[in-house]
Amino acid sequence: MNILLVGSGGREHALAWKLAQSPSLTRLYAAPGNPGIAEEAEIVALDIADHAAVVGFCADRAIGLVVIGPEAPLVDGLSDALRAAGVPVFGPSRAAAQLEGSKGFTKDLCARAGIPTAGYVRTSSLEEARAALARFAPPYVLKADGLAAGKGVVIAQSLAEAEAALAEMFGGAFGSAGAEVVIEEFLEGEEASFFALTDGTHIIPFGSAQDHKRVGEGDTGPNTGGMGAYSPAPVLTSDLQGRVMAEIIEPTVRTMREEGHPYQGVLYAGLMLTAEGPKLIEYNVRFGDPECQVLMMRLESDLVALMLACAQGKLEDAAIAWRNEAALTVVMAAKGYPGTPDKGGKIALDDAEADGAKVFHAGTAIKDGALVANGGRVLNVTALGRSVTEAQQRAYEAVDRISFPTGFCRRDIGWREVAREQAGADN
């Protein structure tokens, strides 16, 4: 089968790497791709915003499955155009992608379906939002309704800070994404991510992970797309995963189907593990980046078969096998990130993969025959181990074999779990 993969990040390199291992793959195409993806796929010059062009390409090359990595083309309805043309696609419709595309949509769905989440108010003007603050206590959680590349959430410690942030949001700081703002109750607990595959009716749990959103060690400094991740996240015990399925994922998939927007693809739940149990912080309608990288390292099953089962409503018969190992990925970013990253810095990967580690490319490019940095997050250095501690050690050994003078990484990815493993070993 011929497959088209849409995207250009580390997540898509990991997907390309795993898709390429499938016995049922004939040719893998990718757009826009990156130099890492180019090792696994033929990069095609295709404007993914031009849905008719993508549909035409699929007809020309007899594409049997399109895999859409990022959220923007999903929210933009690329999968609807493909499905209308009879092309199987892994990824939700535009209507179902509202689960990520509109925070207000998801909060209202949680309210209708009785899904545990933070209490909230939707507001559509500065006056309304200011008045609503009185119903909450600090810290105030303020969220631009639409897609804001992970930057649309403000946690304000004081009323003055909250009012200033609201003024910025309604003043257009997030463009149309900030035309509505959701104000939420602050949830206390540890965060974890849970993934499920679904064909709209059947659901299969697809693992857990924890990421590190802050740029600095000890989880300090500004938020980023994610500086590293590991999987599984043992804090999400099998008992808690059962509750997440029953209380959060199943009612979501059922309600979406019953309301005429069946959800198909991967559903990524960002969770807060509170004293009362897991609560939904947000949904994403795609794999996490870099969480996908650690999931793909651990997955033993054929990814093509699983994705096709989701696309064709046949997930009931699918089974998933995982390696009995932990995986951890360290993001190497260009200096300046998450502000303006330093582009063009030379990278030498040398023998980084010598010990079984895998280096996924995110923002890289080839310039004059050399590999250079071409974005904020540049490389995802990923390793397996019998424990998170061992996976962490192997990932950093690989990091240390890479030459990237204009790059940096956090040295403490996985710290929570490493500390728990250490405490367990001491007992």
Interface positions with ligand AMP (CB under 6 A): 118, 141, 143, 150, 153, 184, 186-187, 191, 213, 270, 281-282
Q: Which is nearer to ligand GLY, 211 or 302 (CB)?
A: 211
Residue 211 interaction partner, one of ligand GLY, ligand AMP, none, beta carbon < 5-8 Å per kind? ligand GLY
Q: Which is nearer to ligand GLY, 61 or 151 (CB)?
A: 151
Q: Which is nearer to ligand GLY, 17 or 170 (CB)?
A: 17
Strands 27-32, 2-7: pairing kind: parallel
Residue 225 interaction partner, one of ligand AMP, ligand GLY, none, beta carbon < 5-8 Å per kind? ligand GLY
**Minimum distance from residue 213 beta carbon to ligand AMP (Å):** 6
**Minimum distance from residue 191 beta carbon to ligand AMP (Å):** 6
Q: Which is nearer to ligand AMP, 101 or 385 (CB)?
A: 101
Residue 288 interaction partner, one of ligand GLY, ligand AMP, none, beta carbon < 5-8 Å per kind? ligand GLY
Residue 226 interaction partner, one of ligand AMP, ligand GLY, none, beta carbon < 5-8 Å per kind? ligand GLY
- Residue 151 to residue 10: CA distance in whole angstroms: 19
Q: Which is nearer to ligand AMP, 132 or 303 (CB)?
A: 132
Q: Which is nearer to ligand GLY, 193 or 389 (CB)?
A: 193
What is residue 52's three-state secondary structure?
helix
Q: Do 29 and 4 meet the contact criterion of CB atoms below 8 Å apart?
A: yes
Residue 123 interaction partner, one of ligand AMP, ligand GLY, none, beta carbon < 5-8 Å per kind? none
Q: Would you give the binding string for ligand GLY spanning residues 207-246, x where CB under 6 A is met?
A: ----x-------------xx--------------------
Strands 220-223, 214-216: pairing kind: antiparallel
**Minimum distance from residue 33 beta carbon to ligand GLY (Å):** 19
Give the residue from 190, 417, 250 showing the smallest Cα distance to 326: 417
Whether the bond between 232 and the residue before it is cis, its omega within 30 degrees of 0, is yes
Q: Among 12, 40, 289, 412, indicate the residue that binds ligand GLY (CB under 6 A).
A: 289
How far the first Cα of the chain sits from its last, in Å, is 52
Q: Do 369 and 347 meet the contact criterion of CB atoms below 8 Å apart?
A: no
Give the residue from 347, 355, 354 showing the smallest Cα distance to 379: 347
Q: Do 402 and 379 meet the contact criterion of CB atoms below 8 Å apart?
A: yes
Q: Does 12 bind ligand GLY (CB under 6 A)?
A: no
**Which one of 56-64, 287-295, 310-318, 389-397 is the stretch in contact with ligand GLY (CB under 6 A)?**
287-295
Residue 184 interaction partner, one of ligand AMP, ligand GLY, none, beta carbon < 5-8 Å per kind? ligand AMP
Whether the bond between 205 and the residue before it is cis, its omega within 30 degrees of 0, is no
The vertex-236 CA angle with 232 and 241, nearest 5°, equals 105
Residue with tokens 């793959």: 25
> Which amino acid is residue 387, in one-letter code?
S
- Residue 263 to residue 310: CA distance in whole angstroms: 10
Binding site for ligand GLY (CB under 6 A): 150, 211, 225-226, 284, 288-289, 291
